[in-house]
């Protein structure tokens, strides 16, 4: 062994190199305050290792980016751990960078002759921020997509060249494949490459000038190995512990629903280490002082000046009070950034709208996960196609667009918007259910706008029947009415009532008799057998998927309202809705949105 080592050393000089690396002299001995640089190098190595393996599983295109990250997070063995380590180590780096910068400035290690090394440190700081910014987009989820749109928009406001810069960053006029390929090349190639070069220069210069030892020395001089290495190791272990804690706590890193330019994402926030800048841009003082230039001042001018001051700090230090100014400047900067961050977090915590948006974002990401599991994987068109074929997601959107002009869903248009107009057709929340029908058959309710209030049928036979005849028929026999309601509602076969109906079989059978006899519904409606003379909509299969699809195809069909149809358009017959679209709305209204059923119907 010894011979081999000496043979190698003769040809490489590695012993001398190793000696130089390990036996750097530290005046005053090893100290905890010197560990920051080493922890940062350690983090960088962690990022390279985890990043390379993530790279082996990641696919940058708008149809595969989210999908491959989903696969890493949920399907690959240990994928969540790998992703979590990469995600939280990135965050740790930002904290450690600030601590390192603080230590360097407090100890005066930025002053002559170490200016150039200090600048390399600043370059590394910005490269790290750049890696955070570019890494954020890669999962192509709603959060990363929104944050990237904002960040690239900010580039666009730079005078003259802004739009071209933005186009080059985005890879075109719109966000898509080339946004991802460009960001990925930056994140995994350009920025780490620059970073390696800068780290090499940073460490080489550090060795050239030696450590800026903190006076007074408390202990005799020591070598880097093993005293300082041990301390550095313990610090790196602490960083690893913290990163593992967050990784396990959150089971990897968050992944929101796939990017979708057609959906609001009210939980849009930058990563926490950019929150201070985000909050700064929201300060009214910017618009008050600079009007429409506030954006430029806040996003570009002020950060630019701050970076400028940081860069010239070694020169400022030459003045008598320069070092104190630098310390004060850094203190003000850190305190402001902390206050802004706290302000941002607290205002979100106090904002019910934001909390609701976060909950909705969470629900969306769980929904897509359930759909993928039920489908047994993601279709080639990407996860977005699953959501587009999902009644729970697409149903309310189509309802708002096509139905909410007349109908409502729980008082709103399906997406939560409430018009001041009174609806001219029934509210379809719970259509087909016992509750819906019981309300419809109540004398005091049928003429409400949630039922027939806005329709021509307000003056029709059904309303007359419900308000005058029905109360007499069921006086003293409330159970008969309940059974009749259950029997008609059972026609819908709603998934939400399936259990109840399985138990109530005999009672529902009684109810069917009440439909024909006690309440004489069959005088006008057909019920469970063909009736040529029926003059009102068929109750056979009332509220079932087939029934709703048929009435939306043609409400003027003899089976439904015939010539007495009010204003309901023949959506299917006129081609306003495709059968698939009608199906999505129908399934959503019927609450038929179980992921495995959705997956089966897509197939």
Partner 1 sequence: MSGPDEKPAVGRRGFIKEAAAGVVGGCCLLVPAAAGLVAWLDPLSRSAGGGAMVKVGRLDGLPADGTPQRVSVVMGRQDAWTREGAVPVGAIYLRRTGDRVVQALHSVCPHAGCFVDYQTARGQFFCPCHDSSFAVDGSINDPHSPSPRGMDTLEVELRGDEVWVRFQNFRTGIEGKVPVA
Please report whether residue 421 would count as binding partner 1 according to CB under 8 A.
yes
Give the distance from CA 253 to its chain's centroid: 12
Q: What is the CA radius of gyration of the chain?
A: 34
Please report whether residue 418 would count as binding partner 1 according to CB under 8 A.
yes
Binding-site string for partner 1 from residue 338 to residue 357, where x marks contact by CB under 8 A and - marks none: ---------------xx--x
The distance of closest approach from Cβ of residue 358 to partner 1 in the complex, given in angstroms and rounded to an integer, is 11
Please report whether residue 41 would count as binding partner 1 according to CB under 8 A.
no
Number of amino acids touching partner 1 (CB under 8 A): 62
The distance of closest approach from Cβ of residue 172 to partner 1 in the complex, given in angstroms and rounded to an integer, is 5
> Which is closer to partner 1, CB of 92 or CB of 386?
386
Quickly list H helices, 107-189: 115-137, 142-156, 162-170, 177-185
Please report whether residue 405 would count as binding partner 1 according to CB under 8 A.
yes
Nearest to 255 by CA among 139, 421, 145, 147: 139
Indicate the SS3 state at residue 258.
strand
460: Cβ contacts below 8 Å, ≥ 6 apart: 452, 564
Q: Quick one: which segment of 191-199, 216-224, 415-423, 450-458 binds partner 1 (CB under 8 A)?
A: 415-423
Please report whether residue 149 would count as binding partner 1 according to CB under 8 A.
yes
Please report whether residue 416 would count as binding partner 1 according to CB under 8 A.
yes
Tokens of 367: 């929904």
Q: Quick one: which segment of 282-290, 369-377, 510-518, 543-551 binds partner 1 (CB under 8 A)?
A: 282-290
Nearest to 567 by CA among 426, 396, 409: 426
Tokens of 174: 């719109």
Binding-site string for partner 1 from residue 172 to residue 191, where x marks contact by CB under 8 A and - marks none: xxx-xxx-------------
User: Which residues in 543-563 are b (16+ Cβ under 10 Å) and which e?
Assistant: bbbebbbbbbbbbbbebbbee
User: Which residues in 477-506 are b (16+ Cβ under 10 Å) and which e?
Assistant: eeebbbbbbbbbbbbbbbeebeeebeebee
Please report whether residue 163 would count as binding partner 1 according to CB under 8 A.
yes
Contacting residue, 74, 103, 212, 263, with partner 1 by CB under 8 A = 263
CA–CA distance, 396 with 590 (Å, rounded to integer) = 12
H/E run at residue 222: strand 222-223
The distance of closest approach from Cβ of residue 95 to partner 1 in the complex, given in angstroms and rounded to an integer, is 25
Q: What share of the chain is helix, strand, coil (3-state, %, to 5)?
A: 65, 0, 35
The distance of closest approach from Cβ of residue 367 to partner 1 in the complex, given in angstroms and rounded to an integer, is 17
Please report whether residue 591 would count as binding partner 1 according to CB under 8 A.
no
Please report whether residue 68 would count as binding partner 1 according to CB under 8 A.
no
- Is the Cα torsion angle 238, 242, 247, 253 positive or negative in sign? negative
Please report whether residue 282 would count as binding partner 1 according to CB under 8 A.
yes
Please report whether residue 154 would count as binding partner 1 according to CB under 8 A.
yes
The distance of closest approach from Cβ of residue 356 to partner 1 in the complex, given in angstroms and rounded to an integer, is 11
Please report whether residue 427 would count as binding partner 1 according to CB under 8 A.
no
Q: Quick one: which segment of 21-29, 35-43, 254-262, 521-529 binds partner 1 (CB under 8 A)?
A: 254-262
Q: Quick one: which segment of 39-47, 208-216, 280-288, 516-524 binds partner 1 (CB under 8 A)?
A: 280-288
Contacting residue, 413, 501, 538, 592, with partner 1 by CB under 8 A = 413
Kindly report the CA angle at 580 between 574 and 583, in degrees rounded to 5? 95
Tokens of 442: 């109540």
Distances (CA, A) of 241 to 60, 247, 359, 501: 31, 10, 29, 54
Please report whether residue 144 would count as binding partner 1 according to CB under 8 A.
no
Which of the residues 116 through 135 are near partner 1 (CB under 8 A)? Answer: none
409 forms bridges with which residues in the sheet? 412
Using CB under 8 A, list all residues that contact partner 1: 62-63, 146, 149-150, 152-154, 156-157, 163-164, 167-168, 170-174, 176-178, 260-268, 278, 281-282, 284, 286-288, 292, 294-295, 353-354, 357, 388, 397, 400-402, 404-405, 412-413, 415-421, 569, 576
């Amino acid at each position: 062994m010894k011979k081999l080592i000496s043979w190698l050393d003769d040809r490489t000089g590695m012993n001398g190199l190793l000696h130089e690396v390990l036996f750097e002299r530290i005046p005053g001995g090893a100290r905890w305050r010197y560990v920051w640089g080493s922890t940062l190098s350690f983090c960088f190595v962690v990022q390279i290792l985890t990043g390379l393996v993530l790279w082996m599983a990641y696919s940058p295109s708008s149809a595969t980016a989210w999908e491959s990250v989903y696969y890493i997070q949920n399907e690959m063995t240990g994928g969540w751990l790998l992703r979590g380590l990469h995600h939280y180590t990135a965050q740790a780096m930002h904290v450690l960078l600030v601590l390192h910068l603080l230590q360097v400035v407090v100890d005066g290690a930025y002053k002559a002759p170490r200016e150039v090394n200090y600048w390399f440190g600043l370059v590394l700081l910005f490269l790290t921020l750049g890696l955070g910014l570019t890494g954020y987009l890669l999962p192509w989820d709603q959060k990363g997509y929104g944050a990237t749109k904002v960040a690239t928009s900010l580039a666009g406001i730079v005078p003259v060249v802004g739009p071209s810069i933005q186009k080059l960053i985005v890879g075109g006029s719109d966000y898509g494949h080339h946004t991802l390929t460009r960001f990925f090349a930056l994140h995994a190639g350009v920025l780490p490459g620059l970073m390696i070069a800068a780290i090499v220069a940073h460490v080489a210069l550090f060795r050239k000038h030696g450590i800026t030892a903190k006076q007074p020395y408390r202990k005799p001089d020591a070598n880097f190995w093993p005293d300082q290495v041990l301390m550095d190791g313990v610090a790196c272990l602490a960083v690893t512990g913290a990163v593992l804690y967050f990784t396990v706590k959150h089971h990897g890193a968050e992944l929101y629903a796939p990017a979708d330019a057609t959906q609001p994402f009210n939980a849009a926030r930058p990563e926490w280490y950019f929150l201070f800048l985000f909050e700064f841009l929201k300060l009214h003082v910017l618009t008050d002082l600079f009007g429409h230039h506030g954006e430029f001042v806040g996003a570009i001018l002020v950060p630019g000046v701050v970076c400028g001051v940081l860069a010239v700090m070694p020169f400022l230090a030459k003045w008598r009070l320069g070092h104190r100014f630098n310390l004060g400047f850094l203190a003000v900067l850190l305190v402001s950034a902390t206050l802004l961050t706290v302000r941002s977090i607290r205002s979100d915590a106090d904002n019910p709208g934001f909390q609701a948006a976060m909950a909705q974002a969470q629900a969306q990401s769980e929904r897509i996960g359930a759909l993928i599991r039920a489908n047994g994987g993601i279709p080639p068109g990407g996860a977005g196609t699953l959501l587009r074929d999902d009644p729970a997601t697409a149903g309310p959107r189509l309802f708002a667009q096509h139905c909410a002009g007349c109908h409502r869903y729980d008082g709103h248009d399906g997406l939560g918007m409430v018009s001041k107009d009174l609806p001219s057709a029934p509210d379809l929340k719970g259509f087909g259910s016992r509750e819906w029908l019981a309300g419809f058959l109540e004398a005091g309710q049928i003429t409400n706008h949630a039922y027939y209030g806005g329709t021509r049928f307000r003056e029709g036979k059904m309303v007359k029947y419900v308000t005058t005849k029905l109360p007499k028929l069921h006086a003293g026999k409330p159970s008969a009415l309940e059974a009749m309601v259950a029997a008609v509602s059972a026609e819908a076969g709603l998934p939400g009532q399936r259990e109840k109906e399985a138990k109530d079989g005999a009672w529902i059978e009684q109810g069917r008799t009440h439909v024909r006899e006690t309440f004489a519904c069959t005088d006008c409606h057909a019920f469970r057998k063909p009736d040529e003379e029926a003059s009102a909509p068929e109750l056979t299969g009332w509220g079932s998927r087939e029934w709703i699809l048929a009435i939306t195809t043609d409400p003027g069909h003899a089976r439904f309202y015939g010539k007495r149809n009010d204003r309901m358009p023949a959506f299917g017959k006129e081609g306003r809705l495709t059968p698939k679209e009608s199906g999505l709305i129908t399934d959503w209204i019927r609450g038929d949105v179980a992921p495995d059923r959705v997956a089966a119907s897509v197939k």
